Amino acid sequence: MRGTLTPRLWATTLGAALAAGVLLVAGILAGSSDLGVGDVLHTLFVGGDRTDYFIVFELRMPRVAAAVLVGASLGMAGALTQAFSRNPLATPDILGVTSGAAAGAVATIVLGGGAYAVGAGLLGFGLPVVACAGGLLTAALVYGLSWRSGVDSYRLILIGIGVTAALTGVVNYLVVRAQLTQAAAATQWLVGSLSGVSWTSVWPVAVTLLVVAPLALGQTRALEVGQLGDDVSVGLGVSLQRHRLVVLACAVVLTSVAVSAAGPIEFVAFVAPQVARRLAGSSRPPLVASALVGAALVTAADIVGRALMPWPVPVGIVTAVVGAPYLIWLLTRRSSAERTASA
């Protein structure tokens, strides 16, 4: 559609891609170990000893790849929910995905070590699978509860908030009941971390992104028209229920898989689309640019957390430290803009 691919959006997309690319390389070169940049380059292009090879190919590369892919997934999922709901505060979290994944993961960690049959059973599937299933099931539950001869966005958001609150209670209960080491493991997962990421946890995120992103991009024009309101969308030939289902399913799958790989990394799905929208000067968050900004954001946060801090800081903490002030700034700016508008 005319007006969606402006030169400024192209520039934003290319700029974000460049930033993500540079950060990806930087993430492989930089690290906390005494492996210098020269050693890494030597290992990459000439070949190093077994330890160097292991650090570069089995630790840093999957970690950086996970950062890029998780960031891109969260960024695109956030762009989908924000554009769809026409609300910059609507992230996939409101659909209950994150809390569902967290409940699944924490239940596995806390109950898995003990004598509980259910925990052992869950652990058998592996943490990422249970987390992903928890996210998908919760989103399906929220969608199902919102259904009354069609799904209304407002009802969906309210039910999402309710279900999220209930599941947060479950997570807190599990953590309180857990033994100290399990509670620590659960808390670390809840913060969102890329330490301990291996190639096996990267592949699912990559495949998901490859499959879901084209589906999501197919909704671009409907999202654009959707900015004019639901009634106008229908008038312009958007099949609203199908569009809603596809957009939400894409957002939910992207988020569930990303969260299952790295835990709920805070604020990425919220901040990345807003940054991309402001840079591109568009009426809604652009999907591809938001994904690339998300990739750059998570990769940068991970580099900061593991290479620039005196001790390793989980990536989720870094994004929260950046994201929270941004949220507050956005809220105060919005409310003052609304005051001027109504004055």
Partner 1 sequence: MTTRSRAPEATAVPATSAASAASADEGSPAPRPAALEARGLTLAYDGHEVLTGLDLAVEPGTVTTLVGANGSGKSTLLKAFGRLLSPAAGEVRLHGAPLKGQSARQVARQLAILPQKPLTPGATRVRDLVSRGRHPHQSMLRPWTAADARAVEEALEATGLSELAERDAASLSGGQLQRAWIALVLAQDAPTILLDEPTTFLDLSHQLDVLRIVRRINRRRGATVVMVLHDLTLAARFSDRLVVLADGGVVADGAPWDVLTPEVLRTAFGLEASVIADPHTGGPLVVPHEPEDETEQHPEVGNQVR
CA dihedral sign of residues 186, 188, 191, 195: negative
The CB-of-68 to partner 1 minimum distance in angstroms stands at 27
* 339 is an interface residue for partner 1 by CB under 8 A: no
**Distances, alpha carbon 279 to alpha carbons 8, 199, 270, 272, in Å:** 8, 33, 15, 11
- Is residue 245 close enough to count as binding partner 1 by CB under 8 A? no
Length of the chain: 343
Neighbour tally for 212: CB within 10 Å: 21
Q: How far apart are CA 2 and CA 43, in angstroms?
A: 48
Nearer to partner 1, 33 or 227 (CB): 227
Footprint of partner 1 on 2-61 (CB under 8 A):
2-3
Tokens 């507050």 locate to: 328
Which CB, 60 or 284, lies closer to partner 1? 284
C-alpha 203 chain-centroid distance:
16
Residues numbered 111 to 170 that lie near partner 1 (CB under 8 A) are: none
Identify which of residues 196 and 281 has a Cβ nearer to partner 1 in the complex. Answer: 281
Q: In the block, which residue shows the tokens 């919760």? A: 138
Q: Please say which residue, 93 or 224, places its beta carbon nearer to partner 1.
A: 224
Nearer to partner 1, 86 or 155 (CB): 86
How far, rounded to the nearest angstrom, does the alpha carbon of residue 58 sit from its chain's CA centroid? 23
Residue 237 binds partner 1 (CB under 8 A): yes
Q: Which of 164, 178, 161 is nearest to 102 (CA)?
A: 164
Could you say which DSSP state residue 96 is in?
T
225 lines the binding site for partner 1 (CB under 8 A) = yes
Total number of residues that touch partner 1 (CB under 8 A): 24
Q: What are phi and psi of 134, to 5 degrees?
A: -60, -45
Nearer Cβ to partner 1, position 42 or 221? 221
- Taking CB under 8 A as the binding criterion, the range among 91-99, 133-141, 277-285, 292-300 that sits at the site for partner 1 is 277-285
Distance CA 229, CA 232 (A): 6
Which 53-112 positions form the footprint of partner 1 (CB under 8 A)?
86
Which stretch in 91-99, 175-183, 216-224, 286-294 sits in contact with partner 1 by CB under 8 A?
216-224
Footprint of partner 1 (CB under 8 A): 1-3, 86, 218, 221, 224-225, 227-229, 231-232, 234-240, 281-284
